[in-house]
Amino acid sequence: MAVPTADADGQRSRVCAGAYECIARFGLAKTTIDDVARASGVSRATIYRLFPGGREQLLRETVGWEMNRFFASLAEAIADAADLETRLELGLAFAHRAVVEHEVLQKILATEPEALLPLMTIEQHRVLGYIADYLRPLLQAELEAGRLRHDVDVDLAADYVARMVLSLIGSPGRWDLDDPAAVQQVVRDELLGPFAP
């Protein structure tokens, strides 16, 4: 008998939460299916049914699950922003702080980046699409309001800004994202500047 989708989704989240707990405790390399089964309160068989690719799929999807939680928090943090520029400013500052203060992420980056980076690279493509989809209607509204050049291709602009935002979150380079003036400048000059009228 097939498990209803809502139940399967709930179980997947429960297993990912258990896997995240194990990763926080043991690290990526030492987390086992048995550990996750104990932490999530489900059987090994259930884990393999939900994640037929085994441990690798489970770890990859747990990284994706945590990224989804991160972006849900980010969306909530910028929900009341009045315009795209303000959303980008608030979003960059929030995301930078969240990454720097994320204990599990920082621990794994320090101790086993070789295990995490491939998982994040796979998930990055999904995240880029998510950010671009979010930005597209906002950029279209900016275009229609005359705040972007009339010849801007909204799809290309959304892709560009999404890639820049994701890059800045992970590696701000010369920009001090703890400084509101620097965040304002990077948004104005680097993110929206190429499309300004």
Q: What is the CATH number of the domain that holds 42?
A: 1.10.10.60
Q: Does residue 25 lie within any of the structural domains?
A: yes
Q: Tens digits of per-residue pLDDT, 148-174?
A: 999 999 999 999 999 999 889 878 889
Please state, in angstroms and as integers, the Cα–Cα distance from residue 77 to each residue in 1, 15, 88, 102, 147, following that order: 41, 27, 11, 16, 24
Residues 17 and 101 in one domain: no
Note down the domain range covering 14. 1-52
**Is 61 part of a structural domain of the chain?**
no
pTM of this structure: 0.78
Question: Using 50, 70 and 90 to split pLDDT, how confident is the model at 140?
Answer: very high
In-domain check, residue 32: yes
Q: Which has the closest alpha carbon to 185: 167, 160, 168, 166?
A: 168
Same domain (yes/no): 154, 101: yes
Q: Packing angle between helix 113-144 and helix 54-78, nearest 10 degrees?
A: 40
Residue 2 domain-assigned? yes
Structural domain total, the chain:
2
Q: Is residue 57 part of a domain?
A: no
Predicted pLDDT at 28? 87
Q: What is the CA radius of gyration of the chain?
A: 19
